[in-house]
Amino acid sequence: MPLSFAEHADALYEAYSADAEGRLWTYLPYGPFADRPAFDAWLQASAASQGDPLFFTIIDHATQRPGGVCSYLRITPAAGSIEIGHLAYAPRLQRTTAATEAMFLLMRHAFELGYRRYEWKCNALNAPSRYAAERLGFQFEGIFRQAAVVKGRNRDTAWYSIIDQEWPALHRAFIQWLSPANFDADGRQRRSLTALRDETVAG
């Protein structure tokens, strides 16, 4: 749902506080935050952005607790291109079904709106982000060398995308993976998203 400072600030601050070492902010241009006022200033500015980037709060429907934020950005309707970014998952959201479902819902919404190219970009050193992109079905397009300076460090940027021609098969894979039948009584997946994706693409 849209990021709301009034509704989500307390829960997000509590969720992010579990990341005591601040690792989740390593490759982001902001954070970790020295104190609550610094966090609030960032979150309030993010929530106030009404165009590009457009921020969302990721909420686990099983618990109704916010677990992170993300945004659409570099929104270019004329080119049919949109990017997903500003991904900041608190520890309780990381590697969960809810995290994958959130990415699926945002992806589906973009293609339903008529976008034909859905982008993911990250620091080339950010191995977890690159793995996540590939697991979700993004295709690697290359490295833009020395693309930016973030927190005083060089950033080579890895580019990934999904295009509209690839979306129908990916959509089928996500639906199969998210089906309750794909999880056992302990919540463990029976078949991986990668396996289902490879099967639907091959089919």
pLDDT at 187 exceeding the cut of 70: yes
Of the candidates 18, 25, 123, 10, the residue with the CA atom closest to the CA atom of residue 57: 10
Average pLDDT in the 96-117 region? Answer: 97
Q: How far apart are the first and last CA of the chain?
A: 34
Lowest mean pLDDT across 7-16, 136-145, 174-183, 194-203: 194-203
Residue 152 to residue 21: CA distance in whole angstroms: 19
pLDDT at 156 over 90: yes
The average pLDDT across 4-33 equals 96
Q: Are 13 and 39 in contact (CB under 8 A)?
A: yes
Asked whether residue 202 carries a pLDDT value surpassing 70, the answer given is no
Say yes or no to pLDDT of 203 above 70. no
Q: What is the pLDDT of residue 124?
A: 98
Given a cut of 70, whether residue 60 has pLDDT beyond it is yes
Q: What is the pLDDT of residues 23-46, one digit of tens each?
A: 999 999 999 999 999 999 999 999
Task: Tell me the average pLDDT across 79-94.
Answer: 97
What is the Cα–Cα distance from 178 to 82, expressed in whole angstroms? 24
Q: Using omega within 30 degrees of 0 as the cis cutoff, is the peptide bond preceding 168 cis?
A: no
Contact assessment for residue 30 and residue 82, using Cβ atoms and an 8 Å cutoff: no
pLDDT value at position 164? Answer: 97
Mean pLDDT of 83-102: 96
Distance CA 12, CA 199 (A): 37
pLDDT of 201 reads 74
Residue position matching structure tokens 């690697």: 140
Q: Is the pLDDT of residue 50 over 80?
A: no
> What's the pLDDT at 114?
98
What would the two tokens of residue 112 be? 């339903």
Q: Whole-angstrom Cα distance, residue 178 to residue 54?
A: 26
pLDDT at 77: 97
- Sign of the C-alpha dihedral computed for residues 185, 191, 197 and 203 taken in this order: negative
